[in-house]
């Protein structure tokens, strides 16, 4: 077995891209039976970003990726692997990551997508961690990118108010581990439960039924969600997996600099914080600006926290997400 204590997987650069167009709750009031007050109170969301016609998951991912490479001082040809976590890919195939590779001209890399929806970034981090800690690769660009606005049913007030578009990226780098407390990914923890696959899903089956007119009429190519059931399981799994990650690393909430949770609903985050006795001041919250950007929400949060000085060298951060699948996971990073 490879000794995973030889190398660390450090975050060498971060980046994010948010489309310019802002869609406010007030604007949604004009087309939907909803209100700014309901959305704000039940979700914490005030506005979200919407991709322009020419923007796609790959174009936003490439912008975020470019920033992460620049921040890390790594040129595109030095990238060994590009992983894109997305559930709104440009096309069914090839992967969005291959389009990103072309846009970045990172032609020495392998590139592929992973599908774990809102947990996609944590799942991607767990993959990158293995490649870097085993010494297989030196530079990995991990990106979460979504154009949720293209896969929501804009007449369904239960779902369309929740989602937004955007991308976030991390450049992860292999470094020789000097001591046990060195900076880097300390651990990742990922889980799935396929019995809950219809809690949040896009039921239109491309491989199952072929693309067909009736599914289009029934909006089966759009996100469907059982909100209440998802809420309950999201709280339970997120609290559980954060607890596991803390115990695995033998750290207390006091020793965590910042918790960056997936931004699905402010109330979910508040309940989790209460259960774990995690002070809200130590939790990154940007759902009011961007809504739920699925796989992009955690890297967008990391980039924001870095830029705002909320992450300092030597500090420990916890990341956590729950998403369709059901999938859930957490990661602990030391900076
Ligand atoms: O990222 C992946 C993970 N995703 C999540 O974790 C999302 C989890 N779920 C949620 O965040 C919440 O369940 C929602 C925000 C989706 C819904 O909030 P809720 O407090 O669970 O509301 P509800 O579904 O129980 O609906 C309460 C009422 C209903 O009215 P009736 O049927 O009781 O008369 C809804 O029809 O609120 C109504 N409602 C709305 N009213 C105004 C639902 N959506 C809206 C809306 N505007 N947009």
The CATH number that applies at residue 76 is 3.40.47.10
**Which residue out of 118, 139, 160, 189 is catalytically annotated?**
118
The Cα angle at residue 71 between residues 294 and 282, in degrees rounded to 5: 55
pLDDT over threshold 60, residue 1: no
pLDDT at position 170? 98
Residue 233 tokens, joined: 């399981």
Pair 106, 245 in one domain: no
Pair 65, 157 in one domain: yes
Ligand 1 centroid–CA 329 distance in Å is 24
Closest C-alpha to 126, from 327, 331, 293:
331
Q: How far is CA 72 from CA 13, 39, 59, 67, in A?
A: 4, 38, 20, 9
Pair 164, 197 in one domain: no
pLDDT at position 2? 46
Pair 97, 201 in one domain: no
Q: Are 210 and 183 in contact (CB under 8 A)?
A: no
Nearest protein CA to atom 41 of ligand 1, as residue:
34
Domain boundary among 158, 176, 194: 176
Residue bearing the bigger pLDDT, 139 or 4: 139
Q: Is 252 in the pocket of ligand 1 (CB under 6 A)?
A: no
pLDDT over threshold 60, residue 54: yes
Q: Is 265 in the pocket of ligand 1 (CB under 6 A)?
A: yes
In a domain, residue 285? The reply is yes
Q: Are 59 and 19 in contact (CB under 8 A)?
A: no
State how many domains the chain has. 2
pLDDT at position 5? 67
Q: What radius of gyration, in Å, describes the C-alpha atoms of the chain?
A: 19
In a domain, residue 1? The reply is no
pLDDT over threshold 80, residue 91: yes
Q: What is the mean pLDDT of residues 27-45?
A: 98
Domain boundary among 176, 192, 224: 176
In a domain, residue 244? The reply is yes
Q: What is the mean pLDDT of residues 33-61?
A: 98
Domain boundary among 176, 200, 235: 176
Q: Are 113 and 84 in contact (CB under 8 A)?
A: yes
Residue bearing the bigger pLDDT, 292 or 177: 292
Q: What is the pLDDT of residues 261-285, one digit of tens each?
A: 999 999 999 999 999 999 999 999 9
What gap in Å lies between CA 278 and CA 295, rounded to an integer? 23
pLDDT at position 205? 85
Pair 219, 240 in one domain: yes
Average pLDDT over the chain, rounded to whole?
96
Pair 196, 292 in one domain: yes
Pair 293, 233 in one domain: yes
Pair 299, 233 in one domain: yes
Q: Is 42 in the pocket of ligand 1 (CB under 6 A)?
A: yes
DSSP state of 295: G
Q: What is the pLDDT of residues 180-221, one digit of tens each?
A: 668 999 999 999 999 999 999 999 988 888 989 999 999 999
* % of the chain surpassing 90 pLDDT: 95
pLDDT over threshold 70, residue 234: yes
Pair 21, 146 in one domain: yes
Helix (H) or strand (E) holding 185: strand 184-192
In a domain, residue 96? The reply is yes
Pair 83, 215 in one domain: no
Pair 122, 74 in one domain: yes
pTM above 0.85, yes or no: yes
Pair 204, 283 in one domain: yes
- State which residues form the domain around 51: 7-176
């Amino acid at each position: 077995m490879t000794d995973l204590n030889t190398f660390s997987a450090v975050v060498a650069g971060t980046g994010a891209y948010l489309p310019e167009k802002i869609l406010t709750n007030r604007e949604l009031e004009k087309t939907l039976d909803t209100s700014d007050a309901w959305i704000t109170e039940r979700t914490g969301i005030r506005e979200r970003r919407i991709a322009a016609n020419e923007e796609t998951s790959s174009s936003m991912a490439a912008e975020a990726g470019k920033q992460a490479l620049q921040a890390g001082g790594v040129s595109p040809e030095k990238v060994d692997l590009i992983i894109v976590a997305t559930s709104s890919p440009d096309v069914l195939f090839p992967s969005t990551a291959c389009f990103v590779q072309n846009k970045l001209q990172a032609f020495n890399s392998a590139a592929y997508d992973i599908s774990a929806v809102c947990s996609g970034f944590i799942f991607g981090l767990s993959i990158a961690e293995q490649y870097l800690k085993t010494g297989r690769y030196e530079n990995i660009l991990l990106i979460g990118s979504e154009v949720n606005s293209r896969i929501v049913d804009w007449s369904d007030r239960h779902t369309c108010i929740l989602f937004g578009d955007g991308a976030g990226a991390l450049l992860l780098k292999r470094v020789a581990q000097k001591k046990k407390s060195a900076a880097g990914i300390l651990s990742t923890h990922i889980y799935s439960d396929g019995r809950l696959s219809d809690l949040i899903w896009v039921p239109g089956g491309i491989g199952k039924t072929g693309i067909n007119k009736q599914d289009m009429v029934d909006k089966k190519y759009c996100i469907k969600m059982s909100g209440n059931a998802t809420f309950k399981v999201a709280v339970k799994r997120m609290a559980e997996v954060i607890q596991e990650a803390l115990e695995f690393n033998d750290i207390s909430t006091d020793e965590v600099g910042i918790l960056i949770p997936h931004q699905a609903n402010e109330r979910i985050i508040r309940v989790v914080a209460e259960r774990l006795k995690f002070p809200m001041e130590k939790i990154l919250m940007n759902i009011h600006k961007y809504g739920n950007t699925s796989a992009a929400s955690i890297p967008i949060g990391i980039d924001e926290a870095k830029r705002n000085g909320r992450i300092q060298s030597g500090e420990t951060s916890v990341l956590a997400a729950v998403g369709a699948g059901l999938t859930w996971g957490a990661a602990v990073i030391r900076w």
